[in-house]
């Protein structure tokens, strides 16, 4: 066969392939993964950020996104890192802007074609359509973990150590306290905030003081609290992640946050060209699969049946909408 015939045959074959491809649904050809960046003020091992990081890695493993991240970014440097990722062609940037709210929104305004999904204490602004907010509304699971705590305390004294008294922490503490009060309305609570998102030694020392004041169950909103519980031989209730494997004789239960529904909804919106100013907090609700109570594991058979029955009943009611856990963003106080 001559070179001319080979060339003609190749061109005809290529044309046929392109014609066939044009009949395929849009996106049927290999879809490019979405470029996603994470900007975090703490290590990715920290409870809250670890859930975002885990969800992003899962999306990347599915081939939905191409993911990169920077951790331990100071609030003063946050805007610069956001700009670098926006300039690098990332289509979606996730993170938490609790200490850099105004600066982050200014960056988003400069890059209207980039979607920003940020943990925030403030709501979305329709004037900034590419900036959506989220929050860990896991009060449902926190309430259920409180029921268990209320059943496990013998002294009727529970210590609670948080980072900062902001809405995302306050609402979980209030929900936990409400759950514990279901089992014993006379329970006393010691509440303290350490003024840091990641200071395990300070959280540990604060928890030690609570045990000295009679607490036999500790609510571990921060890293370091379960270490104190383990050393003092008291129990702990986890938050956001399940650490029972590290504290098998200490952590009874944990309220888990699942960021996958939040991130997956944002990815779908960006890909569909429908991302807009919105509050993604609803995807953290138990009814959306955004939160759950961790398995009892090593404490199976050690929690009073009365509490387990109430947990089961309330969990079902939360999911079907017949029971609603109050969202109280006010700063909780010691009893």
Sign of the four-CA dihedral 248, 215, 256, 252: positive
DSSP, collapsed to helix, strand or coil, labels residue 311 as helix
DSSP letter (8 states) at residue 216:
S
b (16+ CB within 10 A) / e for 5-30: eeeeeeeeeeeeeeeeeeeeeeeeee
Q: What is the pTM of this model?
A: 0.84
Residues contacting residue 273 through CB under 8 Å, at least 6 positions apart: none
Residues 122 and 105: beta-carbon distance below 8 Å: no
Residues 262 and 55: beta-carbon distance below 8 Å: yes
CA dist 295 and 289 (Å) reads 15
Comparing C-alpha atoms, which of 92, 35, 40, 27 is closest to residue 60?
Answer: 35
Strands laid side by side in the 115-119 sheet: 65-70, 34-39, 92-96, 115-119, 131-134
- Identify the residue whose tokens are 């540990």: 204
CA dist 132 and 96 (Å) reads 11
- Per-residue pLDDT tens, the chain, 335 aa: give them: 443 343 334 333 444 443 443 333 344 334 799 999 999 999 998 888 999 999 999 999 999 999 999 999 999 999 999 999 999 999 999 999 988 999 999 999 999 999 999 999 899 999 999 999 998 899 999 999 999 999 999 999 999 999 999 888 999 999 999 999 999 999 999 999 999 988 999 999 999 999 999 999 999 999 999 999 999 999 999 999 999 999 999 999 999 999 999 999 999 999 999 999 999 999 999 999 999 999 999 999 999 999 999 999 999 999 999 999 999 999 999 99
Residues contacting residue 9 through CB under 8 Å, at least 6 positions apart: 1
Listed in order, strand segments (DSSP E) in 209-271 are 217-220, 235-240, 251-257
CA dist 332 and 328 (Å) reads 9
């Amino acid at each position: 066969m001559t070179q001319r015939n080979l060339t003609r045959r190749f061109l005809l074959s290529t044309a046929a392939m392109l014609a066939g491809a044009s009949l395929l649904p849009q996106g049927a050809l290999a879809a490019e993964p979405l470029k996603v960046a994470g900007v975090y003020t703490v290590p990715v091992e920290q409870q809250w950020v670890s859930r975002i990081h885990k969800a992003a890695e899962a999306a990347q493993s599915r081939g939905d996104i191409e993911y990169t991240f920077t951790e331990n970014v100071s609030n003063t440097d946050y805007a610069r890192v956001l700009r670098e990722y926006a300039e690098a062609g990332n289509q979606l940037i996730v993170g938490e802007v609790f200490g850099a709210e105004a600066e982050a929104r200014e960056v988003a305004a400069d890059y209207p074609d980039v979607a920003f999904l940020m943990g925030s204490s403030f709501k979305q602004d329709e004037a900034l359509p590419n900036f959506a907010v989220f929050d860990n509304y896991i009060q449902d699971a926190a309430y259920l973990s409180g029921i268990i705590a209320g059943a496990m305390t013998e002294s009727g004294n529970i210590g609670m150590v948080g980072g900062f008294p902001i809405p995302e922490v306050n609402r979980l503490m209030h929900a936990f306290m409400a759950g514990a009060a279901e089992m014993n309305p006379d329970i006393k609570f010691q509440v303290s905030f350490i003024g840091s998102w990641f200071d395990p030694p300070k959280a540990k020392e604060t928890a030690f003081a609570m045990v000295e004041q009679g607490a036999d169950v500790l609510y571990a909103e921060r890293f370091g609290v379960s270490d104190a519980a383990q050393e003092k031989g008291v129990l702990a209730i986890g938050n956001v992640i399940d650490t029972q494997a590290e504290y098998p004789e200490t952590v009874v239960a944990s309220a888990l946050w699942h960021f996958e529904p939040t991130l997956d909804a944002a990815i779908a919106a960006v890909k569909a060209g429908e991302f807009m100013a919105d509050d993604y907090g609803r995807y953290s609700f138990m009814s959306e699969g955004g939160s759950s109570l961790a398995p009892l594991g090593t404490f199976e058979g050690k929690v009073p049946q009365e509490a387990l029955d109430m947990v089961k009943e309330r969990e079902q009611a939360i999911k079907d909408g017949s029971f609603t856990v109050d969202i109280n963003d006010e700063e909780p106080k010691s009893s």
